[in-house]
Amino acid sequence: MTSQQKITDSPIDFAEDIIEDVKNSKDDGVLKCVQCGMCTSTCPAARHSDYNPRDIIERVLDGDVTIMEDENIWNCFYCYTCHSVCPVGNSVCEVNQILKQFAITNGIGYDKLYEYMGFADSYFTAAIGAIPEIFFEDIDRDVPGWWDFRQNLDEIRDELELDPPLMPSKEVINEVSKILTITGFKDKIDKIRESQEE
């Protein structure tokens, strides 16, 4: 299929939007990409899925906004390897975060976020980020012995003569909840939950 570039098209605008995003710490890094593929060669997500950081930048530079709808962007887990190896000082990792935010703003990817609601909830219940229960099975499969370890954490700490983990107090939890509510975090969570639980 032939793709066309009309005289009025301005593919670079998409990259400009990303550069101007507050999350971008690399100035014009994205524009300097020469598609060398060093990011992909070291990316764990690329090794285990169809996620391809180099391709992300290529599509951004092409002005291909459909990248936001690409399921693959949700496979990056922010190890920042691409960020540290990029020879031209770009960060696909940051670009990815910005793209995800664009997606969410455009109502895309709520189903992906829904899986993480457990994280969000834990901020309200404990004022810290805790691993959601729905991931326990996966983690135990990937990290043998993890479930046993978690079950017996208190005893292990005891044996090692470590104090029980320090948890935020009731007042802290209330305060954090209040902040999250006032800043609109709670509204967002509710919105995502509603969209998936209809």
Residues found near another protein in the complex (CB under 8 A): 34-43, 46-47, 52, 54-55, 84-89
Could you tell me which of 56, 131, 61, 64 has the C-alpha nearest to residue 94? 56
Closer residue to another protein (CB): 42 or 97: 42
Alpha-carbon distance of 98 to 101, in angstroms, equals 5
- Tokens 């802290």 belong to 172
Report whether 109 contacts 71 (CB < 8 A): no
Q: What angle do CA 53, 56, 62 make, to 5 degrees?
A: 145
> What is the smallest separation between the CB atom of 47 and another protein, expressed in angstroms?
6
Alpha-carbon distance of 139 to 136, in angstroms, equals 5
> What is the smallest separation between the CB atom of 102 and another protein, expressed in angstroms?
23
Closer residue to another protein (CB): 56 or 192: 56
> What is the smallest separation between the CB atom of 39 and another protein, expressed in angstroms?
8
DSSP designation for 67? G
Closer residue to another protein (CB): 45 or 189: 45
Closer residue to another protein (CB): 39 or 127: 39
> What is the smallest separation between the CB atom of 20 and another protein, expressed in angstroms?
21
